[in-house]
Structures are given as C-alpha cells and as structure tokens.
Amino acid sequence: MADRDFELQVQGYGLTTVQVHFWMPDHRSLLQQFVFQQYDIAPKFPRLGTFLDYWRTDIEAVLHSVAVAHKHLIGPAEWQAVDGVITIN
C-alpha cells in the first residue's frame, strides 16, 4: 500500500507552509505566530480556506496576517513506473 502523502503528491497536491499572525482580544498588544504544514492544491488552497473559515468562526483570536509558501514536491509527469531493477556489484 502506498504512503498517503505520496498519493496526494501524485494527485497534484504540494507541501504548503502557512504562517499565521494573530492576537487575542484580551492581549491586543501581543502579536503571536502559528506555523503549520499540510498538503494542499495551489492556487486555490481549499484545505487552507477550510482552516481559515474554522479560525474565523470558532477561535477567539483575531487574524492579523497569513503568509503562504507552496512547493510541488512531485507531479504526475515526474513519476514513472519501473519494470525492473538492475543491481551492479
């Protein structure tokens, strides 16, 4: 069975790093940072959109800024099946 991360990469997902700056309503002078990584599809970033919607509705923190970095690690055109392996001693 293939690794789930590898399957996502072959389907077009890339590694997305998200940096969120926020502050809590009771500490507006203290800007905090939250960084995480997930696999997502650029340029629409549906999983990031779902996370930010959750943040806006269920978390009391106020978003200040969101920075996104994205890299396709592998694509369907870069992967090839190999029929055999040659070992040289």
67 domain-assigned:
yes
Q: Supply the CATH number for residue 8's domain.
A: 3.10.20
Confidence of residue 38 (pLDDT cuts 50, 70, 90): very high
pLDDT-derived band at 11, boundaries 50, 70, 90: confident
Mean pLDDT, rounded, for 3-20 = 90
User: Is 10 a domain residue?
Assistant: yes
C-alpha–C-alpha distance, residues 85 and 82, integer Å: 7
Render the burial of 19-32: b for 16+ CB within 10 Å, e for the rest: ebebeeeeeeeeee
Structural domain includes residue 87: no
Looking at every residue in the chain, the average pLDDT score rounds to 87
Number of domains in the chain: 1
**DSSP per-residue letters across 37-52:** EEEE-TTT-HHHHHHH
* 25 assigned to some structural domain: yes
Q: What is the domain extent for residue 44?
A: 4-71
Q: Structure pTM?
A: 0.74
